[in-house]
Amino acid sequence: MHHSARQDEGGFHWSLSIDCHAVDRYGNADFEAVFQDVRFVQEVRIGMMKREDKDRLETLHIDEKINYSKSIVREAIGRFGIDRLAVAITGGKDSTTSLWILKQVCDELNTKPPVCMFIDEGDVFDEIDELVDHIRKEWSLDVVSLKNDDVSSLATHIGRNVRVADLNEKNRRALEEMGYTGEEFPFIPDSTICNHLMKTVPMREFIVRNGVLGLITAIRWDEQSARKDEDFFSPRTNPDHTRVHPVLHFRERDIWVAIFKYGIPYCSLYRQGYRSLGARCATGKASDIPAWLQDLENTPERVGRGQNKEQVMDQLRALGYM
């Protein structure tokens, strides 16, 4: 996979090359429409989102949902400026759909999309790499790949113990900050320690280094209960920035409807039965039929994530279940 990022040996280094010409072109033909949308957004977002507003947004027609997403993106561009925005991309269905919407808005505004940030947490499916490479070329994206090379060069395979003393100072500090003082830890992508080292740390550094004010991510209300109270614009600290969630109101099925209606590219793993994608070692198929043919409303989307089926079965059997 080709990324435009370079990494130096000492830690993280990312090159950024974005033309900044969006804001001054922001006010011509689209101005009225943009402004109306922004007003609507602000009305809805007063305080905590009301239940009725959430319900209304969740039941909109797919094209209205996309229009609403576009209004969020336009507001984000207006608020932060295209050069202070970044997009987190994962190669997953939500991320790619959200990115497609962003691309539509950028085309309408005749601007280049914001920089795309791809986090390589150390165990990425090849199929994900292929998809990211495909959309990078197709949509002329500037994709920056973030990888904590210091950690992954020591972790030659999943489960391999990494000695803390062998890590560079930056990573040792990060472990200290999370309260970890052990001598070593196993390299298991999606584990708490690895998420911190491989995802949080590089992402924070990226935000700081590039002065990112708004980070667009593709979380959805219906994905898991921890996300059901999220807002379209969500302020974060450490470092200070705002998360922007353009497809928050999409349900899982809406994503697939949008993908097929607008020919949005998707990762081939979904055809094999995967429904939600994470690190390869921590992600299983939800079924053997394509994701979009599964019972999306009545079976859990993230069932294949973060668990080892064999070990769960083993424990249940030991207690006489199954």
Residue whose pair of structure tokens reads 């935000």 in the numeric block: 207
Residues 259-288 that bind other proteins (CB under 8 A): 286-288
Stretch that binds other proteins, among 38-46, 85-93, 184-192, 210-218 (CB under 8 A): 184-192
Residue (of 53, 31, 28) closest to 43 by Cα position: 53
Residue 20, interface with other proteins (CB under 8 A)? no
Q: Which residues of 110-138 are buried (b: 16+ CB within 10 A; e: fewer)?
A: ebbbbbbbbbbbbbbbebbbebbeebbee
Residue 315, interface with other proteins (CB under 8 A)? yes
Binding-site member from 34, 89, 131, 193 for other proteins (CB under 8 A): 193
Stretch that binds other proteins, among 28-36, 65-73, 133-141, 311-319 (CB under 8 A): 311-319
CB of 315 to other proteins, least distance (A): 5
Residue 291, interface with other proteins (CB under 8 A)? no
Question: Which amino acid is it at 243?
Answer: R
Please name the helix (run of DSSP H) or strand (run of DSSP E) that holds residue 75, with its range, or none: helix 62-80
Strand pairing partners for 117?
A: 88, 144
Number of residues counted as binding other proteins (CB under 8 A): 45
Binding-site member from 173, 228, 236, 261 for other proteins (CB under 8 A): 228
Residue 48, interface with other proteins (CB under 8 A)? yes
Nearer to other proteins, 66 or 291 (CB): 291
First and final C-alpha spacing in the chain: 43
DSSP 187-222: --TTSHHHIIIIIIHHHHHHHHHTT--EEE----TT
CB of 72 to other proteins, least distance (A): 23
Which residues, in sequence order, are CB contacts of 162 under 8 Å at separation 6+? Answer: 151, 154, 155, 184, 185, 186, 187
Binding-site member from 43, 51, 165, 319 for other proteins (CB under 8 A): 319
Site string for other proteins, 70-99 (x = CB under 8 A): ------------------------------
DSSP 20-69: --SGGGTTSTTHHHHHHHHHHHHHHTSSSPPHHHHHHHHTS-HHHHHHHH
Binding-site member from 188, 197, 247, 269 for other proteins (CB under 8 A): 188
Question: Which residues are at the interface with other proteins (CB under 8 A)?
Answer: 48, 178-182, 186, 188, 190-193, 196, 224-226, 228-229, 286-289, 293-295, 298-300, 302-303, 305-309, 311-313, 315-316, 318-322
